[in-house]
Structures are given as structure tokens and as C-alpha cells.
Structure 1
Amino acid sequence: MYGMDVIAWNESEIDKLKVGQNRMGTMALNAPRYTAVEALRGDMGWSSFRKRLVKATLRYKRG
């Protein structure tokens, strides 16, 4: 997400984004609702939202 490194995210916002990402992965892969989140992320090539946030913040602070 563009600009995610300069926005102060709280836990409830991160949780909402995770739920939305998981829902989209399930729909895109036409997977059952009980499919493990790790399997969805692996098949889609995604990382966790928190990991992306940390990477973006570190890149921003490095300059």
C-alpha cells in the first residue's frame, strides 16, 4: 500500500485489513472457508500485513 509507512496503524485497523485480505484470498482461489491462512498466503505469494508494515517503515526510516 502506498504511504503505509507514514500512517499510524492501530491493532483494530490491522485486524480489519487481515480479515479482508484473507477473504479476498479465499474468493480468488475458490477455497473453502476453513482453509488455513498460511496456505492462502503461500499460494497467493503474500506476506502478513504486519510484516509488510514493518518492512515499509524500515525502508522509510532508512531514507
Structure 2
Amino acid sequence: MSLRFLTVKDDADDLAILESQVYTLVKKGEVPAIQVGPKRVWQTERTRLEEYIERQYAVGRDAVKRAEPF
């Protein structure tokens, strides 16, 4: 059974980016997150992270259609 919520570290590992970059995505509202527990740890729902990834695939497809460089 997979976990419903992921930590910032989990997100960073899945996306192959730095944790600070995940915090930036959260701050910009690109990856919805909540603060949980007494330490107010940021966590994202697995489904929300997957939605973000799908949106990024759509951005990539659109760029290819317009023949824009990455």
C-alpha cells in the first residue's frame, strides 16, 4: 500500500530536484501542500504530485508542437 501523503524529501526524490526547489513549487502554488502535525511539516498528496507531473508533460508537449527549445 502506498502512502497518501509525501514529504518534501519524497517529492524532491521523485522529481529529481532539490528540496528547496520543492518548497519553491509549493510557495508558488504549483504543487499544493499542507502543513501537518505539531512541527508543521509540509506534505503533499501523492495524487497532487502526479497531477503536477501530468501538467508538466502537457507543457512539454505544447513546447514541442510550437518547436520551442526546452
Same fold (TM over 0.5): no
TM-score by length of 1: 0.39
User: If the length of structure 2 is used for normalisation, what is the TM-score?
Assistant: 0.36
Structure with a larger share of its residues in strand: 2
Give the structure, 1 or 2, with the largest relative contact order (CA under 8 Å, sep 6 or more).
1
